[in-house]
């Protein structure tokens, strides 16, 4: 049996904006996976399925990590074709976002400087 390792990034910049690359076995009706699996067993190849640049906010929460630390938001966002993605939600201080709002993918750096993604609201509601 063959073992293949994925080395490509799950991020792709396009003219329309940032997209994520999910994956699905070629010729399969299995669910699309995000993030794509790092290792693939068997002879079937994985094909990239671009998702984004916009999605629909399914849910989110604001994390309060403790005294003297800045709160941050985490969200789950639904993308066509039926993929739910978890990630950081960039919100202004004291802003709220109604569930079902449209969000877009934006570039975001992890604390170690590695390129990643986050979600940004197209419209925020001040409280």
- Cβ atoms of 95 and 126 within 8 Å: the answer is yes
Q: What is the pLDDT of residue 60?
A: 96
Expressed in angstroms, the distance from the first to the final Cα of the chain is 57
Q: Are residues 33 and 83 in the same domain?
A: no
Q: What is the pLDDT of residue 93?
A: 75
Q: Are residues 59 and 91 in the same domain?
A: yes
Q: What is the pLDDT of residue 127?
A: 47
Q: Are residues 89 and 102 in the same domain?
A: yes
For the chain, percent helix, then strand, then coil, each to nearest 5?
0, 55, 45
Model's pTM, two decimal places?
0.84
Cα separation, 3 vs 42, in Å, equals: 6
- Coil, helix or strand for 109? strand
**Total domains in the fold of the chain:** 2
Mark the ranges of the chain whose per-residue pLDDT is less than 50: 127
Q: Are residues 73 and 22 in the same domain?
A: no
Structural domain including 65 reads 54-126
Cα dihedral 106→109→114→117 (10° resolution): -30
Q: Are residues 61 and 122 in the same domain?
A: yes
């Amino acid at each position: 049996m063959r073992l293949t390792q994925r080395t490509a990034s799950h991020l792709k910049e396009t003219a329309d904006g940032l997209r994520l690359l999910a994956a699905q076995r070629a010729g399969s009706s299995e669910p699309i996976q995000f993030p794509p699996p790092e290792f693939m067993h068997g002879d079937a190849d994985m094909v990239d399925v671009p998702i984004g640049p916009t999605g629909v906010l399914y849910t989110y929460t604001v994390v309060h990590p403790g005294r003297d630390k800045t709160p941050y938001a985490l969200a789950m966002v639904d993308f066509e074709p039926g993929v739910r993605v978890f990630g950081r939600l960039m919100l202004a201080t004291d802003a709220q976002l109604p569930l079902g709002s449209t969000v877009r993918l934006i570039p975001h750096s992890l604390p170690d400087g590695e390129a990643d993604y986050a979600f940004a609201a197209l419209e925020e509601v001040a409280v």
